[in-house]
């Protein structure tokens, strides 16, 4: 079973000893659905597309992006959809791609408490890094739109690391670039399979951003994955540090 989600306080798994955060010097975050609701942004962009072409359903189009094959951000998903709806032309395709990018970025907003939490962690003297499967051009636009850029020490994207999660290589690339040991780093992400399992296997502390998991995290693949902490709000990361650290 997946770890229980419960509102009100940070949860530690009952079967484990309370992990120590004393040696942490860096908090490494996933980006999409950990700092902001990217699924909602994509659905809203899909709504604008179906309105533009005059047929279809936004959730149906969104499912095209979740298929294996093209990838979660590939415009070929839009091409396939409008072709299946019988409305394809080069001009319609170009218009839909432009609508998708414009409306998606417009709809990206930080989760409540997210910017405040990142700022607080930075003010504690912790390094703040992001490790994402997004490509640099898209990641930078989203981070600038949501106001996180000024607090970051490092940004690692798929085109920088040369690999994608859950490959251990992408995590090792980030750790090596920052000169960090795994035990010095807490990884925060919304995917048990892609974020928590590989970072924990490498010896990093892990915090599952349950508030952002819009996929049920592939259920069976995630049954045996146990994060060190479960977050029901991003601000609960701050509860991992005592008054001394936060002074």
DSSP the chain: -PPPP-TTS-EE-TTSPPPP-TT--EEEE--BTTTB-HHHHHHHHHHHHHHHHT-S-HHHHHHHHTSTTT-TT-THHHHHHHHHTT---HHHHHHHHHHHHHHHHHH--BPTTHHHHHHHHHHTT-EEEEE-SS-HHHHHHHHHHHT-GGG-SEEE-HHHHSS-TT-HHHHHHHHHHHT--GGGEEEEES-IIIIIHHHHHTT-EEEEEGGG--SGGGGGGGTT---SEEESSGGGGGGGS-HHHH-
- What topology does CATH give the domain 26-36+110-240? Rossmann fold (3.40.50)
Amino acid 19: pLDDT: 79
Return left, alpha or beta for 8; rule: phi > 0 is left, psi -120 to 50 is alpha, else beta. left
Amino acid 20: pLDDT: 86
Tell me how far the alpha carbon of residue 208 is from its chain's centroid: 11
Residue 229 dihedral angles phi and psi, to the nearest 5°: -140, 155
In the chain, what are the domain boundaries?
A: 26-36+110-240, 39-107
Could you list the pLDDT tens digit for every one of the 247 residues in the chain? 344 444 445 554 444 456 789 999 999 999 999 999 999 999 999 999 999 999 999 999 999 999 999 989 999 999 999 999 999 999 999 999 999 999 999 999 999 999 999 999 999 999 999 999 999 999 999 999 999 999 999 999 999 999 999 999 999 999 999 999 999 999 999 999 999 999 999 999 999 999 999 876 454 455 578 999 999 999 999 999 866 555 4
How many angstroms separate the CA atoms of 55 and 52, rounded? 8
Rounded to 10°, the helix 76-84/90-107 angle is 120
- Give the count of beta carbons closer than 10 Å to the beta carbon of residue 63: 13
Amino acid 221: pLDDT: 52
Q: Which two tokens stand for residue 143?
A: 């981070």
Query: Minimal CA–CA distance to 174: which of 144, 204, 197, 209?
Result: 204
Amino acid 128: pLDDT: 98
Task: Give pTM, 2 decimals.
Answer: 0.89
């Amino acid at each position: 079973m997946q770890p229980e989600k419960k509102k009100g306080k940070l949860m530690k798994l009952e079967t484990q000893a309370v992990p120590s955060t004393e040696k942490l010097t860096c908090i490494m975050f996933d980006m999409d659905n950990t700092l902001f609701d990217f699924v909602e942004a994509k659905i809203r962009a899909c709504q604008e597309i179906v309105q533009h072409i005059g047929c279809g359903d936004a959730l149906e189009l969104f499912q095209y992006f979740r298929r294996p094959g093209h990838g979660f951000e590939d415009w070929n998903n839009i091409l396939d959809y409008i072709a299946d709806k019988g409305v394809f032309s080069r001009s319609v395709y170009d218009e839909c791609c432009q609508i998708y990018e414009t409306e998606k970025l417009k709809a990206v907003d930080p989760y409540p408490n997210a910017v405040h939490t990142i700022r607080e962690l930075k003010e504690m003297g912790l390094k703040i890094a992001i490790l994402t499967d997004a490509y640099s051009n898209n990641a930078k636009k989203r981070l600038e739109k949501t106001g996180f850029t000024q607090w970051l020490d490092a940004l690692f994207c798929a085109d920088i690391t040369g690999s994608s999660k859950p490959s251990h290589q992408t995590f090792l690339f980030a750790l090596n670039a920052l000169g960090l040991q795994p035990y010095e780093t807490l990884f925060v992400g919304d995917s048990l399979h892609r974020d928590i399992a590989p970072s924990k296997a490498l010896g990093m502390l892990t915090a599952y951003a349950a508030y952002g998991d819009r996929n049920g995290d592939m259920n069976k693949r995630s049954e045996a994955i146990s994060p060190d902490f479960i977050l029901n709000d991003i601000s609960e990361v701050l509860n991992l540090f005592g008054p001394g650290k936060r002074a």
